């Protein structure tokens, strides 16, 4: 793509004084890794690809199912039954072919986490279980990688930036995962489709702020209550 076409494509970002050409160059040179191509991963992938993130890695070992479609907006009826990673790649390629998409159709575990995460600048946790969530956090701490975290359930969500420029991490907020891995989740209690769009968009915004070196509120957990339309921040 010609330089003038690149400028036109990203002009509305470049026109922001705090971003400018230097910020767009940082976005296009960045390497971001997303764990999960589901409810939270969908808006994150959508907006980071649209913004022109240079390399977008995505890990997910599930296939697209019909019940995913109320909230996982990068997938569609034609991709039901195929891997979420392949569906996400097809979406990203149609949206922005300049983005280098690296799909990993495996589960992130203790054997591969460090090798995979070490290749990226920023890690995004869109996982749906505590074992993976704490593994990702601990690996980011070990590698010195900033981690953008989010979770959703029903009408509620939360998001935070961990391990950024010496800031605190997940264990400083919640030292240990719950003992009961069978706690309620979206599969049992459900989630209203637009909620992950809200939380995932907030996560994508935090990633872009980190890339462009804009102020980031670390050591702060944002709680989102969409039923009563309340947003609260808790310092920790």
184 pLDDT band, cuts 50/70/90, is low
- Are the C-beta atoms of 202 and 196 separated by less than 8 Å? no
Residue 173 scores a pLDDT above 90:
yes
Residue 185 scores a pLDDT above 70:
no
The arithmetic mean of pLDDT across residues 153-172, rounded, is: 97
The CA-atom distances, in angstroms, between 139 and each of 50, 62, 108, 109, 153 are: 28, 22, 11, 10, 25
Q: Which CATH architecture has domain 16-174+185-235?
A: 3-Layer(aba) Sandwich (3.40)
Which two structure tokens, joined as six digits, stand for 227?
């039923």
178 pLDDT band, cuts 50/70/90, is confident
236 pLDDT band, cuts 50/70/90, is very high
Place of tokens 């989010």: 150
Mean predicted lDDT score pLDDT of the chain: 95
Predicted confidence (pLDDT) per residue in 60-102, tens digit? 999 999 999 999 999 999 999 999 999 999 999 999 999 999 9
What is the pLDDT at residue 127? 96
DSSP 3-state percent helix, strand, coil across the chain (nearest 5): 40, 20, 40
| Full strand arrangement of the beta sheet holding 100-104 | 100-104, 55-59, 31-35, 122-125, 147-153, 156-162, 220-225, 230-235
1 pLDDT band, cuts 50/70/90, is low
Query: CA-to-CA distance for 58 and 124, rounded, in angstroms?
Result: 9
Determine how many CB atoms are found less than 10 A away from the CB of residue 149.
26
The whole-model pTM stands at 0.94
Dihedral angle at the C-alpha atoms of 118, 33, 174, 112, nearest 10 degrees? -50
What is the pLDDT at residue 54? 98
The rounded percent of the chain whose pLDDT value lies above 70 is 95
Predicted confidence (pLDDT) per residue in 29-70, tens digit? 999 999 999 999 999 999 999 999 999 999 999 999 999 999
């Amino acid at each position: 793509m010609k330089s003038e076409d690149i400028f036109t494509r990203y002009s509305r970002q470049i026109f922001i004084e705090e971003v400018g050409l230097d910020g767009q160059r940082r976005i296009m040179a960045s390497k971001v890794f997303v764990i999960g191509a589901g409810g939270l991963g969908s808006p994150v992938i959508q907006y980071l690809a649209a913004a022109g993130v240079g390399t977008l890695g995505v890990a997910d070992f599930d296939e697209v199912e019909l019940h995913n479609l109320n909230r996982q907006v990068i997938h569609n009826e034609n991709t039901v039954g195929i891997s979420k990673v392949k569906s996400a790649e097809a979406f990203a390629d149609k949206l922005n072919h300049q983005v280098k998409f690296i799909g990993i159709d495996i589960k992130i575990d203790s054997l591969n986490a460090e090798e995979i995460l070490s290749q990226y600048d920023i890690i995004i946790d869109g996982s749906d279980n505590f074992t993976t969530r704490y593994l990702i956090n601990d690996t980011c701490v070990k590698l010195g990688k900033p981690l953008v975290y989010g979770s959703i359930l029903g009408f509620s969500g939360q998001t935070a930036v961990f391990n950024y420029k010496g800031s605190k991490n997940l264990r400083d907020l919640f030292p240990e995962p719950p003992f009961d891995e069978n706690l309620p989740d979206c599969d049992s209690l459900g989630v209203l489709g637009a909620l992950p769009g809200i939380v995932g968009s907030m996560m994508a915004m935090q990633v872009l702020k980190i890339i462009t070196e804009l102020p980031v509120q670390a050591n702060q957990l944002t709680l989102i209550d969409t039923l009563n339309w309340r947003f609260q921040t808790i310092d920790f």
